[in-house]
């Protein structure tokens, strides 16, 4: 068995469903959320898919181990110069390899290259390792909302944002 994860950067039939199901399994097992969380993820996946995701200004990274889906993250175009990092979750067996850090940096480079002004992501406060990674890349929490969510009495839902520097102007001779 090949124990090194592989990264695929194009969608195939069934991948969007795998992203949704993977979120349901991982977050259900690790954070005790119910199926309404999976519905929340499914709605973001469906909105992107109906827009034709991924466009030339978007990107997807699908992580596979021995041919099985074990992670994902994506850059989606949210309009008005804004992009989102979405569907960022890895199974435990591929964590701790620096893969999330590397792929997040890759997507932020894409965002900068195609001219987004801002990138945001939404998460919840219990994902402390992820929060550390986001802050290391320059993201800051801009809002937080504590409420009952996804079958739990209390979840602090957070929005992180990163302002991107404008691409340098090119000189025409």
Token duo for residue 161: 């944002």
In a domain, 171, yes or no: no
What is the sign of the dihedral through the CA atoms of 34, 22, 10 and 86?
A: positive
Q: Is residue 173 part of a domain?
A: no
Question: ∠92-145-49 over CA atoms, to 5°?
Answer: 60
Q: Which domain holds residue 114?
A: 6-163
Asked if the structure places residue 156 within a domain, the reply is yes
Handedness of CA 37, 43, 48, 49 (dihedral sign): positive
Report pLDDT digits (tens) over 17-58: 999 999 999 999 999 999 999 999 999 999 999 999 999 999
Count how many domains the chain has: 1
Q: Is 85:73 a contact under the CB 8 Å cutoff?
A: yes
Say which CATH number the domain at 152 has.
3.40.630.30
Report whether pLDDT(173) > 80: no
How crowded is residue 152: how many other Cβ atoms within 10 Å of its Cβ?
16
């Amino acid at each position: 068995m090949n124990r090194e994860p592989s990264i695929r950067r194009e969608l195939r039939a069934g991948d969007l469903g795998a992203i949704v199901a993977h979120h349901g399994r991982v977050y259900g097992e690790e954070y005790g959320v119910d199926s309404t969380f999976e519905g929340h993820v499914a709605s973001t996946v469906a909105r992107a898919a109906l827009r034709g995701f991924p466009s030339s200004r978007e990107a997807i990274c699908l992580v596979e181990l021995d041919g099985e889906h074990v992670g994902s993250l994506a850059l989606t175009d949210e309009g008005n110069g804004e992009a989102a990092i979405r569907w960022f979750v890895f199974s435990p067996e591929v964590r701790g390899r620096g893969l999330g850090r590397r792929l997040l940096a890759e997507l932020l480079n894409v965002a900068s290259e195609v001219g987004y002004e801002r990138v945001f992501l939404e998460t919840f406060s219990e994902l402390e390792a992820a929060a550390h990674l986001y802050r290391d890349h320059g993201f800051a929490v801009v809002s937080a909302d504590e409420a009952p969510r996804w079958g739990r009495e209390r979840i602090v839902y957070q929005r992180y944002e990163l302002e991107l520097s404008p691409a340098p102007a090119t000189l025409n001779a």
